[in-house]
Amino acid sequence: MKFGLFNINMHLGADPDNMIRLAQAAEAAGFESAWTGEHVVLPDPQVAPSPLPPEGLMLDPAVALAHIAAATDTIRLGTGIIILPQRNPLVLAKELASVDVVSKGRLEFGVGVGYLHQEFSALGIPFDDRAPRTVEYIEAMRAIWEMDQPEYHGQFVDFAGVQANPRPVQKPSPPVVMGGHSPPAFRRAVAMCEGWYGFALDVDGTRTCVDGLAKAAAQTERPDRFSTLEISVTPRKRPTPELVEELAELGVDRMILLPRGETVDEWLQFVDHIGSTLIN
């Protein structure tokens, strides 16, 4: 089981000094990765299904991960997740290729289709076509990262005769991790991603999603470029050895943990506790 740390750019982690302390502590404790969250804007006042109050602190993922990259050596740097249809894919490809370069090849590119219509409306992005837009954006970003003469011709993205350098360090490109708990998300993960990420799941919810991924795998062709789908989960409960064993038996490869506590020192104590009891 690999262990990641969530909230590295949010709440207490939104302070740049706290972020570095947490990332360095996680690396020292044996965490494999650190993960950001994202909402460009939040509804004010908060309305369901918005997960955070409007005053919630959240740094941009690419900025946060570049900041962490300069102060760490080995920990992988994940976006968990970027709401992809809200972004310009070529601008984002440049930003994330830059993160991969400055981190010397440590980026994990987690994506999702999004679910807050107020956020899409504020950004001027259509809500109803967000799923096919996400598919095209992944394909277009891989094209600009991987092709000698990049081009892509789709409904939402169309380009040729351009270059964007430097390319990512990871070849052919950074791994893409699809977020979401729905059958379409499972199919997208199988068809076009190296990994899948389920957020805030208990054991039963994880089992349901793993079964959904297996069903999608039986019905969806997986390209030869991909190996076995890597499964990541953020559990609802505080992690214990028993929970790690249960999730491992279900096929989970990585647990991305929410730090516990009201102060940065309590978050650091959580990181050290996980390192001493579950990792080492």
Contact 139, 191 (CB under 8 A): no
What does the pLDDT look like over 5-61, one tens digit per residue? 999 999 999 999 999 999 999 999 999 999 999 999 999 999 999 999 999 999 999
Q: Residue 164: what pLDDT?
A: 98
Q: Where are the beta strands (DSSP E) in 63-194?
A: 76-83, 107-112, 152-153, 158-159, 176-179
280 has pLDDT over 90:
no
User: What is the pLDDT of the chain when averaged over all its residues?
Assistant: 98
What does the pLDDT look like over 101-131, one tens digit per residue? 999 999 999 999 999 999 999 999 999 999 9
Contact 259, 5 (CB under 8 A): yes
Beta bridge partners of 158: 153
| Percent of the chain residues past pLDDT 90, beyond the cut | 100
| 158-174: average pLDDT | 98
| 228-235: average pLDDT | 98
Q: Residue 114: what pLDDT?
A: 98
| Structural domain spans, the chain | 2-279
CB within 8 Å of 142: residues ≥ 6 apart: 172, 173
Burial grade of 154 (CB within 10 A; 0-12, 13-18, 19 or more): middle
211 has pLDDT over 90:
yes
What is the Cα–Cα distance from 274 to 270, expressed in whole angstroms? 6
The model scores a pTM over 0.75:
yes
* CA-to-CA dists, residue 63 to 106, 167, 198, 239, angstroms: 14, 18, 24, 29
- The topology under which CATH files domain 2-279 is TIM Barrel (3.20.20)
* CA-to-CA dists, residue 86 to 123, 130, 195, 248, 276, angstroms: 7, 8, 21, 34, 39
